[in-house]
């Protein structure tokens, strides 16, 4: 089944692919690669990526991208230890990506019509929607006890602790996550969409940049050029490199 191509490009992923809504707060420039592809190269782009998203959430982003329609689907995986917390029992398959809470006011994707919200997790978002009862919060496990927008009970915190202590195996979860993303990669191809895994080639510059940081104990210290006001972890030059690589690949594929 070949779907209508609503957008040239739809971007899926976590913070690495999540654009800042109003551009870089320090320079007022739209310097994420998805925004450069729009502003400099003229592509129509929808960014569904969200900070702290899980691989399951990224798979649902890919599912939404296929339903919405695009020519190219850019995506990448993330760490498999992230959690999908069920906030309520409102999950409905037909709601698609609206099942997932987009809680961050700085993420451009939080303001699209395709995603979910929940007052208990998005009080600082400023995004109000009629269906603001999304059930799934994808999140990193670190710092949940200090999260002001998510109040978990002691039992819930203990359940998370036990999950990692007794039931979590990173290699197993990584393997299962790879199967899920591979499925939606294949579904995109069946729909006539070109899926591109950004970690395999085109997005390597931004992931390499992140590796310039270092671990100090249990704390990751960002690269000194990292702009903490942006969710996507890199400088403008790196984002330009990624945008240029994507544009060149699209031109090559389009002329093949």
d(CA 57, CA 82): 10
The pLDDT score that the predictor gives to residue 152 is 83
Residue 41 scores a pLDDT above 50: yes
Considering the domain boundaries, does residue 197 fall inside one? Answer: yes
Q: What is the DSSP string of 143-204?
A: TGGG-TT----HHHHHHHHHIIIII--HHHHHHHHHHHHHHHHHHHHHTT-EEEETTTTTTH
Considering the domain boundaries, does residue 172 fall inside one? Answer: yes
- The mean of the pLDDT values for the chain is 87
The pLDDT score that the predictor gives to residue 102 is 92
- 78 — pLDDT class (breaks 50, 70, 90): very high
Map residue 142 onto helix, strand or coil.
Answer: coil
CB atoms < 10 A from the CB of 35, how many?
20
With a CB cutoff of 8 Å and minimum separation 6, the contacts of 72 are: 8, 9, 10, 193, 194, 195, 196, 250
Here the tokens at position 134 are 């999304």
What would the pLDDT profile of 182-194 be if each residue is shown by its tens digit? 999 999 999 999 9
What would the pLDDT profile of 12-25 be if each residue is shown by its tens digit? 999 999 998 876 65
- Tell me the mean pLDDT in the region 190-207: 94
- 146 — pLDDT class (breaks 50, 70, 90): confident
Q: Which of 136, 196, 186 is nearest to 12 (CA)?
A: 196
Domain extent for 181: 7-255
- The phi, psi pair for 61, rounded to 5°, reads -60, -45
Considering the domain boundaries, does residue 1 fall inside one? Answer: no
The pLDDT score that the predictor gives to residue 5 is 76
d(CA 135, CA 85): 8
- 229 — pLDDT class (breaks 50, 70, 90): very low
Q: Which of 70-74, 194-198, 228-232 has the lowest mean pLDDT?
A: 228-232
Considering the domain boundaries, does residue 2 fall inside one? Answer: no
Considering the domain boundaries, does residue 192 fall inside one? Answer: yes
Number of domains the chain is built from: 1
The pLDDT score that the predictor gives to residue 2 is 46
Q: Which of 1-5, 76-80, 102-106 has the lowest mean pLDDT?
A: 1-5
User: Which DSSP category does 141 fall into?
Assistant: S
CB contact at 8 A, 184 and 62: yes
The pLDDT score that the predictor gives to residue 1 is 46
> 148, exposed or middle or buried, with CB in 10 Å at 0-12, 13-18, 19+?
exposed
The pLDDT score that the predictor gives to residue 231 is 53
Considering the domain boundaries, does residue 19 fall inside one? Answer: yes
């Amino acid at each position: 089944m070949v779907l209508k191509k609503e957008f040239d490009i739809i971007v899926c992923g976590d913070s690495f692919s999540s654009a800042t809504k109003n551009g870089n707060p320090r320079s007022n420039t739209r310097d994420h690669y998805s925004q450069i592809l729009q502003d400099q190269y003229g592509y129509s782009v929808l960014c569904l990526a969200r900070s702290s998203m899980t691989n399951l959430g990224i798979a649902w982003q890919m599912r939404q991208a296929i339903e919405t329609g695009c020519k190219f689907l850019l995506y990448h995986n993330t760490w498999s230890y992230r959690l999908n917390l069920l906030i309520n029992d409102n999950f409905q398959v037909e709601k698609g990506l609206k099942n997932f809470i987009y809680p961050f006011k700085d993420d451009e994707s939080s303001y699209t019509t395709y995603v979910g919200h929940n007052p208990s997790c998005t009080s600082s978002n400023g995004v109000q929607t009629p269906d603001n009862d999304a059930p799934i919060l994808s999140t990193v496990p670190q710092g949940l006890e200090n999260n002001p927008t998510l109040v978990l009970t002691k039992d819930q915190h203990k359940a998370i602790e036990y999950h990692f202590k007794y039931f979590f195996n990173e290699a197993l979860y990584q393997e299962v996550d790879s199967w899920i993303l591979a499925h939606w990669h294949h579904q995109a191809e069946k729909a006539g969409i070109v899926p591109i895994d950004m970690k395999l080639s085109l997005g390597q510059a931004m992931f390499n940049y992140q590796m310039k940081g270092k671990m100090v104990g249990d704390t990751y210290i960002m690269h000194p050029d990292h702009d903490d006001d942006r969710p996507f972890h890199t400088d403008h030059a790196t984002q330009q490199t990624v945008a240029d690589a994507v544009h060149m690949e699209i031109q090559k594929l389009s002329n093949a």
